[in-house]
Amino acid sequence: MLGLVQANFAADLAYYRRSRLLLAFLLVFLLLVGLYSLPPLFSDSSVQDFNALREIYEVLNGFIFFFAGGLGLFVISSHLRNRSLKMVFTKPCSPAVWLGSAFLAAFAATLLMECIVLASVATLSIGWHLPVRAALVFEALDTLVGAMGIAAYLILLATVMHPAIAATFALIFNAELFYSADTWAQAVIRSGDTGMFLRGLERLFHVLYLLLPMAHVFGTQTEGVYTSMRVLHGEWKYIVYSFGYSMTLSAFCYFLALFALQRKRHI
């Protein structure tokens, strides 16, 4: 089975290379770094250099989530759309092995992208004579475990719906949307509107907020790290908690996607 996992893993990485997804990431990466690096070149202010570095890192990590979701989405949908899985599974290669390899390949590619971002920001920090803070590693780990869950979620969506619909669904119906809706409903209720319909709506928003995957599960607790780029000793535990959440989400998405995959008629 290890040989099958390695073969599928290599095939998925080859797909990423041919599909130019990683190339697109590198182009966006170079463009953003170049644009955000222009102001510090014309200024001797260390404060401006620090703010530019923080903004570059925040924007690039945001794109990591976008590309990680795309990696998970397209590696599944490309095989489903060209009806090639029946041939793959009669090699023989079980759906469980093929799907697990897709998860591993998406995570490996995401890890590569995050390492490129971290190394580049650390190089900029040294070049601009700023201290290389532990917060860079903290944010890299936080982004990586969050992106792993997002990729798993998009892999699940790709097995049950068209990729365009899956991408639209993930972008529009997200945890942040229903968190904002839940906050709005709670504010209206506190203002005096205690109708049953509104209370039921608030409960629905709250449940959907809890069910949908979150990029930064402990964003409130770690907000200070992203602002000051300093990590307190007690804040490292949130990386462990986020990793546990991401692994649980990934396992849930894996088994649900496997169930959906096995029920497809053309397989």
Tell me the pLDDT tens digit for each residue of 125-157.
888 787 767 888 999 999 999 999 999 999 999
CB count, 10 Å around CB of 214? 20
Asked whether residue 212 is domain-assigned, the answer is no
What's the structural domain count of the chain?
Answer: 1
> Is pLDDT of 105 > 80?
yes
Asked whether residue 9 is domain-assigned, the answer is yes
Asked whether residue 267 is domain-assigned, the answer is no
Asked whether residue 201 is domain-assigned, the answer is no
Q: What is the pLDDT of residue 93?
A: 75
Of 12, 162, 154, which is closest to residue 75 (Cα–Cα)? Answer: 12
> Is pLDDT of 205 > 70?
yes
Mean pLDDT for 184-208 is 79
Asked whether residue 34 is domain-assigned, the answer is yes
Asked whether residue 120 is domain-assigned, the answer is yes
Q: Where residue 193 falls among pLDDT bands split at 50, 70, 90?
A: low
Q: Which residue has the higher pLDDT, 49 or 154?
A: 154
Mean pLDDT rounded to a whole number for the chain? 81
Q: What is the pLDDT of residue 113?
A: 86
> Is pLDDT of 167 > 90?
no
- The verdict on pTM exceeding 0.75 is yes
Q: What is the pLDDT of residue 124?
A: 82
Q: What is the pLDDT of residue 153?
A: 92
Asked whether residue 132 is domain-assigned, the answer is yes
> Is pLDDT of 99 > 60?
yes
154, 69 in Cβ contact below 8 A? yes
Q: What is the pLDDT of residue 86?
A: 60
Tell me the pLDDT tens digit for each residue of 54-69.
888 888 888 888 888 8
> Is pLDDT of 253 > 80?
yes
> Is pLDDT of 247 > 90?
yes
The sign of the dihedral angle between the CA atoms of 122, 51, 111, 238 is: positive
Asked whether residue 189 is domain-assigned, the answer is no
> Is pLDDT of 2 > 70?
yes
Q: What is the pLDDT of residue 38?
A: 65
Q: What is the pLDDT of residue 42?
A: 59
Mean pLDDT for 102-114 is 90
- What phi and psi, each to the nearest 5 degrees, are found at residue 89? -75, -10
Q: What is the pLDDT of residue 189?
A: 78
Work out the angle at residue 190's Cα, subtended by the Cα atoms of residues 189 and 195, and round it to the nearest 5 degrees.
25
Tell me the pLDDT tens digit for each residue of 23-45.
777 777 777 777 766 666 656 66
Distance of CA 22 to the CA centre of its chain: 15
> Is pLDDT of 17 > 80?
no
Q: Where residue 246 falls among pLDDT bands split at 50, 70, 90?
A: very high
Residue 155: domain span: 2-171+235-262
